Structures are given as structure tokens and as C-alpha cells.
A and B are shown apart, each in its own frame.
Chain A
Amino acid sequence: GAGVSQTPSNKVTEKGKYVELRCDPISGHTALYWYRQSLGQGPEFLIYFQGTGAADDSGLPNDRFFAVRPEGSVSTLKIQRTERGDSAVYLCASSEGGNQETQYFGPGTRLLVL
């Protein structure tokens, strides 16, 4: 079956621009997670959805970052007024139930802010 997919694979943008990153979770998975991974580091949690609602958004670094999951399936991570420090790989994962279940990761979107 299809795994978690993310688009685009790579995104290059200029400082100050707005970007949207998309995640398609595994069909039927109710939980969806966004992580950010900088070079040489492990993934850092950003936000966790259970269904359509954000169950935990404590990892979002500031109010330039926002994520939605309007129908409980596809999710979009939105970054406003991008900064060079936002450059990283953004990973999405999904799981059948809550956070104690195995998470299945997508290939990530590599964001470069010039």
C-alpha cells in the first residue's frame, strides 16, 4: 500500500516569502505529525493532529508557522515570512492511533531559504 507522501521534495525560496508544504498520510491513519530536522540533528517535533484538530502544537517555533488538516487526512504546513534559519528537512509522519503507536514517515521536504 501507499506510504506517507510529501510534496514538494525540494523547495527553494527567498527570505520573506510564504511556503506551503503538503503531507498525504497513510489512508485511515488518524494521527499526523510534523517534524523539522536540521543537519546533524534528530527530528524535532512541531505539531500533532488527531483527526482534524491540532492535539499538540507546542513545537511550532513561532507564529510564522501554522498547519491545518481540514478533513482529517491531508495536512499542509504553512510558513510565513520565511527566514534563512527555517532551512531544514520537514518530515511528516502518520500513525493509526495516538502518539504511542508506530509512526510512519514520509520522505520529507527539503526547504532552502536563500
Chain B
Amino acid sequence: SQQGEEDPQALSIQEGENATMNCSYKTSINNLQWYRQNSGRGLVHLILIRSNEREKHSGRLRVTLDTSKKSSSLLITASRAADTASYFCATDAESTLTFGKGTMLLVSP
């Protein structure tokens, strides 16, 4: 079963704009991670936020976590065409990661 659900399913923006993706989950977690996937192959880890953290930054990425609402958001600022990919949130409520269905981001030049 998939615990995380990303929203929106697809997002199309212009280069330079910001992209925001949301993730909701159902059970308590230890941490939440965001991954990126190009062309349906290997996933690349972007950022991990622990349950006692509320916000984390990494370069152009900003992740927030609201454990009371069981939700997280990923913000990509000043997007580039190279950011075009699928983005997944993953939670570790059970013994390993549970992924959502992902958000497909298209950044047009």
C-alpha cells in the first residue's frame, strides 16, 4: 500500500517560476524523504526531514513538515528545465520506506 500521496499529480511551469508539491501521509513517522526520478529509472535522494523538524533547506529546495496535519511540502525555487522529473515523498512509518505515486513536474524553457 502507498502511504504518501503527492499533490498535484502533474505540474507544468515556466523556467524561473517556483514549484510547490505537497505530500500527505496517514500514520506517524520517524522521518520523511523526498526523491527525484528521471525517465522512470533510479531515484535520487533530495532531502530528509525528521519528525521533530519543521523546515529544512538545501540549495533551491525547501521542505516543510507538519506532523499535526500529516503533510509535507517541497518547494523548488527559480526552477530550471533540468528540474523536469517526477518527485516522490517517502515515509518510514513501517520498517522501510513507503512511497507515494509522485508528482510529474515539467519546466518549460
Binding site for B on A (CB under 8 A): 4, 33, 35, 37, 39-45, 48, 55-56, 58-59, 89, 91, 93, 99-100, 102-108
Q: Give 11 A-B contacts (CB < 8 Å), ordered by A residue.
A: A33-B97, A37-B40, A41-B101, A41-B102, A42-B4, A43-B97, A45-B96, A45-B98, A104-B45, A108-B40, A108-B42
B99 adjacent to chain A (CB < 8 Å): yes
Residue among A39, A89, A103, A107 making CB contact with B97, cutoff 8 Å? A103
Residue among B33, B94, B96 making CB contact with A33, cutoff 8 Å? B96
Interface residues on B, range: 20 to 34
Minimum CB–CB distance from B89 to chain A (whole Å) comes to: 9
* Interface pair A89/B40, CB less than 8 Å apart: yes
* Interface pair B92/A42, CB less than 8 Å apart: no
B41 adjacent to chain A (CB < 8 Å): yes
* Interface pair B101/A43, CB less than 8 Å apart: no
B2 adjacent to chain A (CB < 8 Å): yes
In the complex, residue of chain B having the shortest beta-carbon distance to the beta carbon of A59 = B96
B78 adjacent to chain A (CB < 8 Å): no
* Interface pair A44/B2, CB less than 8 Å apart: yes
* Interface pair B44/A42, CB less than 8 Å apart: no
Minimum CB–CB distance from B50 to chain A (whole Å) comes to: 9
Contacts of B43 in A (CB 8 A): 43, 91, 93, 105
B88 adjacent to chain A (CB < 8 Å): yes
B30 adjacent to chain A (CB < 8 Å): yes
CA–CA, A37 to B4, complex, Å? 15
In the complex, residue of chain B having the shortest beta-carbon distance to the beta carbon of A37 = B40
CA–CA, A106 to B33, complex, Å? 17
CA–CA, A42 to B100, complex, Å? 5
* Interface pair B95/A107, CB less than 8 Å apart: no
